[in-house]
């Protein structure tokens, strides 16, 4: 039944949908544009993202997910419905859908996810923890009696877990991730340069210029913003060195959280992790210098997955094939809401 199975990485910044055997079939920003006068959704995904910062007052371009969970149920349902209908066109058979969720999600938050996916037409909904999905997506055989550590840095949360025999042994989730880096770069530009820049500009600085530790990498980027002194448009050039002060404290907090998980890990599994190293997944894993910084702090090898952005979605799609072998972090959530 794999052709009727869909895996959804329900991210704060991006929604990625994958199917086992086909790979990623949709990658769109989790943005919705709404006409507030008519309470009508105008666009979702790429079309809505293009409107951010460029709309009249009555059009609101917003992200209905925050810190990896649903903050606006109505808009999230609309978002999921449109995306699922875009990739799944069978009118006869409803799909089974697996959705990844942060490891620290509450029962109320997970029920909201299930309700949104059922409204999109799923006949059965499964929830899988992000670290489990990330490990599956980057090719780790988590069913073996060996310890593996995954640090998944998404848009809203960083999920960290030690996995063995198909389940989580130790895990944690912190609300420091890609969006936090963007926010801090934006704040730092205001303080250091007296210039207001947009979140999309801050994201470009993170991707092209930022580095979380002093090293050989250096870059610069000319950006445009608004002077807080004159109120007029202004250009400025931002360098890698300029951003250390904004980036490094956040990288340090991720390192502390990972260190705490390792401290609680049984000695045998800690030995496995020392041999195999730590795997970074998620878009935030691509921050320059982060793997080297974490390796320095944790005293183990750290590597970035081959396809860090799509790992979670690919693993989420795959989990439906081996779900009966997973000991924890994977659950059939449909019965909670009375759907079978």
Q: Which residue, chain included where needed, has tokens 């149920």? A: 73
Cα–Cα distance between 284 and 294 in angstroms, integer?
13
* 157 annotated to bind ligand: yes
* 156 annotated to bind ligand: yes
Q: How many helices, marked H, and strands, marked E, lie in the chain?
A: 10, 19
> Hey, which bits of the chain come out as E strands?
5-10, 14-19, 23-29, 32-35, 40-44, 59-62, 65-66, 69-70, 96-101, 124-129, 148-153, 158-164, 167-174, 195-196, 220-227, 233-239, 278-281, 302-304, 330-332
How many other C-beta atoms lie within 10 A of the C-beta of residue 76?
A: 26
Cα–Cα distance between 188 and 269 in angstroms, integer?
40
Instruction: Specify whether the CB–CB gap between 33 and 47 falls below 8 A.
Output: yes
Degrees (nearest 5) of the Cα angle 137, 31, 79? Answer: 75
* 155 annotated to bind ligand: yes
* 292 annotated to bind ligand: no
Instruction: Specify whether the CB–CB gap between 100 and 129 falls below 8 A.
Output: yes
Structural tokens at position 25: 């079939």
Instruction: Specify whether the CB–CB gap between 131 and 167 falls below 8 A.
Output: no
Hey, CA dihedral for 17, 313, 123, 337, is it positive or negative? Answer: negative
Neighbour-count burial of 260, counting CB atoms closer than 10 A to its CB (0-12 exposed, 13-18 middle, 19+ buried): middle
Instruction: Specify whether the CB–CB gap between 8 and 99 falls below 8 A.
Output: yes
Binding residue positions for ATP: 155-157, 203-206
Binding residue positions: 155-157, 203-206
């Amino acid at each position: 039944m794999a052709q009727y199975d869909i895996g959804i990485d329900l991210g704060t910044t991006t929604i990625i949908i994958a199917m086992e055997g086909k790979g990623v079939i949709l990658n769109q920003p989790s943005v919705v544009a709404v006409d507030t006068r008519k309470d009508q959704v105008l666009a979702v995904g790429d079309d809505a993202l293009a409107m951010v910062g460029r709309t009249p007052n009555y059009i609101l371009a917003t992200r209905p997910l925050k810190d990896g969970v649903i903050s606006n149920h109505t808009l999230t349902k609309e978002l999921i419905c449109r995306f699922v209908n875009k990739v799944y066109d069978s009118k006869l058979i409803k799909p089974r859908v697996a959705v990844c969720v942060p490891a620290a999600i509450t029962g109320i938050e997970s029920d909201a996810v299930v309700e949104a996916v059922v409204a999109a037409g799923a006949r059965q909904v499964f929830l899988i923890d992000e670290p489990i999905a990330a490990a599956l997506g980057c090719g780790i055989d988590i069913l073996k009696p060996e310890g593996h550590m995954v640090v998944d840095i998404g848009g809203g949360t960083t999920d960290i877990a030690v996995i063995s025999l198909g389940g989580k042994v130790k895990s944690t989730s912190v609300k420091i991730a890609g969006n936090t880096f963007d926010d801090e770069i934006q704040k730092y530009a205001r303080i250091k340069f007296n210039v207001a820049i947009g979140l999309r500009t801050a994201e470009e600085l993170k991707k092209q210029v930022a580095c979380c530790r002093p090293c050989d990498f250096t870059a610069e980027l000319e950006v445009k913003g608004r002077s807080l002194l004159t109120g007029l448009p202004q250009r400025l050039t931002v360098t890698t060195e300029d951003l250390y002060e904004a980036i490094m404290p956040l990288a340090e907090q991720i390192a502390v959280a990972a260190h705490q998980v390792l401290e609680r890990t049984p000695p045998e599994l800690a030995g496995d992790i020392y041999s195999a190293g730590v795997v970074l997944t998620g878009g935030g894993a691509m921050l320059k210098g982060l793997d080297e910084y974490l390796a320095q702090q944790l005293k183990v090898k750290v590597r970035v997955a081959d396809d860090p952005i799509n790992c979670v979605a690919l693993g989420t799609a795959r989990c439906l094939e081996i779900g009966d072998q997973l000991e924890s972090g994977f659950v059939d959530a449909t019965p909670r809401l009375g759907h079978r």
